[in-house]
Structure 1
Amino acid sequence: MRKYIGEIMLITTAIIWGSGFVMSALSLDYLSPYQLLAARFLIGVIILSIVFHKRLRKIKKSTILKGTVLGLFLYLAFALQTVGLQYTTASKNAFITAVNVVIVPFIAFFMYKRRIDIYELTGAFLAIIGIACLSLQFSSGVNIGDLLTLACAFGFAYQIFYTAKYVKDEDPILLTVVQMAVAAILGWAVVVLKGDTNFSFEMEGVLSTLYLGVFSTTLAYCLQTIAQKFTNETKTAIILSTEAFWGMVFSVLFLGELLTPRMAIGAIVILGAIIISETKLSFIRKKETKEEHNVL
């Protein structure tokens, strides 16, 4: 069971993020996208600082530097996704963001000459196909919103890649605290610079924002960072891509969206992607080896 602790944490993270689609839809009725980002990251750093205040005394300079890098990539990715959404469709925004799943292994290859696992790469491309079936409303043309969203995908890919790199030598909790703090500082700086300081305090908006801050930000990013001690960056990206699947599930359950055959196919393809990357088709290879042995 211990062998799969990372995968279990990442699946839990993806489920939480999937539920976040519903809560984001509710929050954005009351807050601007930039206000929502600033609020959720602030909630995250406050909760983590209170719960783990004793650990903060042991924080190292290296943790601050590495957490700052992660926080920069995290906020940049979210901001680019938010701006990109203003110029493209929500379905294309979600799909292009998910392209990070195939970017991650190539970052490892080009930066560290790390061998690309054919099964994980196959799983990554299958995940993209599955997400396309789930979310993409096919339309022609590429616009500035699509390009900004693609840049956002690179931001998330680098955040996943560097988390895997840094968490090997750093306390994952402290790394998450610094990451949240940097993202919160950037978030509030953008809100102030844009003059976007008129917040709504309607109860529904407050509760949905609290959910995003407590679960989709604090808990989810803690789980992701800890999980990456136990699994590699490519597998992490593939499992986290199931966020799209869980988003569909919660949208069907709570927002009344219709489940179409294409969405069902997408869900099956994503499941196949995880099976391939996780097992590397070992059950097939074992069967073939056994058959060859019997023939001999």
Structure 2
Amino acid sequence: MAGSSEARAGAAGGRCAPVWVFELGLLLTAVIWGGSFVVLKDTLDAMTPIWIIALRFGLATVAMCLVFHRRLARYLDLSHVVAGVAIGLPEGLGFLIQNVGLVGTTPGRNAFLTATYCVMVPFMNWLVTRRRPGASSVVAAATCLAGVGFLALSGEKGFGLGVGDLLTLVSAFFFALNIVAVGRFGAAHDTMVITTVMFAASFVLCLAAALALEPVPDFAALPGSFWLSMGYVVCCSTMLGLILQNVGQRHVPPAQAALLLSLESVFAVLFSIVFYGETVTPPLLAGFALIFLAVTVSQFGPAIWGRLRIGRK
């Protein structure tokens, strides 16, 4: 696998920069991803949600083909196609449903409810590997449910989650399925090639859904601000975010990298307050805090629990 050999070569050659540079890159990724929630919310005024996601993946696929055409020519084969489709279909469904859900909720709620996929992954992986989730996963799940309960308590119409919130939770399920698929198929394939196929599969899925469910937009009538927003989503959130994540995770310990990337939801709320005018009430803040705590426990819990068990021996 080319990606693995490159990683080993990089490790053998040593880091070209201090660790904090790569940590800063992961933090920047979280900032970029957090900003995309507000940016996508604004694009919904100009285009229907499924067409936006189809356009996003279509442009991202073209960009990946232009940048990595030599790697595609060298490594693309049936195995990469099958693996990319297996990873791309749940990802495409996740983004599709998430963006539809964003119509009926705020960027901050959308971001934190999406983050619950981190808590779902150990339980979905259980179905694939038959490896039971540890105690930390159970604690994280309970904490996450409490957080979602507080979000329901903060609803505008009393207790309950809106349609947009519920759709976002469904999207989190597909994002968790995407993570499980990456763990199953990703390691044996070239990273950039399989990512390109993944984007292409997501594009085909979203395009088919858009053609079936939404009217074809008038692309010529779209304002310049819309294309600027799409430029941010494609170039920064999708392309640059992917590169920073891949480079950063080669040099930063996995748990620390996951925590830095999970700050995406925190930045999404900050941007939503500043640019979207989202009001943070005490129940909403409690819900955000509990979900973030659940994500943190799901990432760091296994290592901490393992050390405690070793300490007792």
TM category, shorter: 0.7 to 0.9
Alignment match of 1:196 (pick from 196, 201, 216): 216
Q: Is contact 1:163-1:225 (8 Å) kept?
A: no
Please tell me the root mean square deviation across aligned C-alpha atoms, in Å.
4.3
2:53 matched to 1:37?
Answer: yes
2:233 matched to 1:181?
Answer: no
| More displaced stretch, 42-51 vs 122-131 | 122-131
In 1: Cα distance, 2:93 partner to 2:261 partner: 19
Q: TM-score scaled to structure 1, two decimals?
A: 0.76
Q: Is contact 1:173-1:226 (8 Å) kept?
A: no
Alignment match of 1:69 (pick from 86, 97, 100): 86
In 2: Cα distance, 1:260 partner to 1:253 partner: 15
- One-letter code aligned to 1:22: V
SS where residue 167 of structure 1 aligns? helix
2:271 matched to 1:254?
Answer: no
| More displaced stretch, 110-119 vs 160-169 | 110-119
Q: Is contact 1:95-1:132 (8 Å) kept?
A: no
SS where residue 168 of structure 1 aligns? helix
Distance 1:85 1:263, change over 3 A: closer
In 2: Cα distance, 1:164 partner to 1:231 partner: 19
Aligned pairs (5 A) from 1:63-142 = 63-84=80-101, 89-90=105-106, 96-123=113-140, 125-126=142-143, 129=146, 137-138=154-155, 139-140=158-159
Aligned pairs (5 A) from 1:1-296 = 12-57=28-73, 58-84=75-101, 89-90=105-106, 96-123=113-140, 125-126=142-143, 129=146, 137-138=154-155, 139-140=158-159, 148-193=167-212, 194-199=214-219, 200-221=221-242, 241-262=262-283, 265=286, 269=290, 272-273=293-294, 276=297, 277-278=299-300, 282=304
Shift of 1:4: 9.9
Shift of 1:132: 6.2
Deviations 1:201-253 (A, max 9, x none): 21111101111111222333455577788999999887655432111111233
Deviations 1:101-131 (A, max 9, x none): 3221111112211242333553455456557
In 2: Cα distance, 1:192 partner to 1:129 partner: 38
- The number of aligned residues is 289
Q: Is contact 1:56-1:174 (8 Å) kept?
A: yes
In 1: Cα distance, 2:51 partner to 2:243 partner: 22
Distance 1:195 1:253, change over 3 A: closer
In 2: Cα distance, 1:165 partner to 1:227 partner: 21
Shift of 1:279: 6.7
Shift of 1:173: 1.2
Structure 2: state its 5+ residue gaps.
1-14
Deviations 1:228-284 (A, max 9, x none): 88999999887655432111111233334455555555565456446543375749x
In 1: Cα distance, 2:222 partner to 2:45 partner: 11
In 2: Cα distance, 1:7 partner to 1:132 partner: 33
Distance 1:151 1:271, change over 3 A: closer
In 2: Cα distance, 1:121 partner to 1:13 partner: 28
Q: Is contact 2:37-2:111 (8 Å) kept?
A: no
The percent identity for this pair of structures is 31
| Structure 1 partner of 2:4 | none
In 2: Cα distance, 1:273 partner to 1:42 partner: 34
Q: TM-score scaled to structure 2, two decimals?
A: 0.72
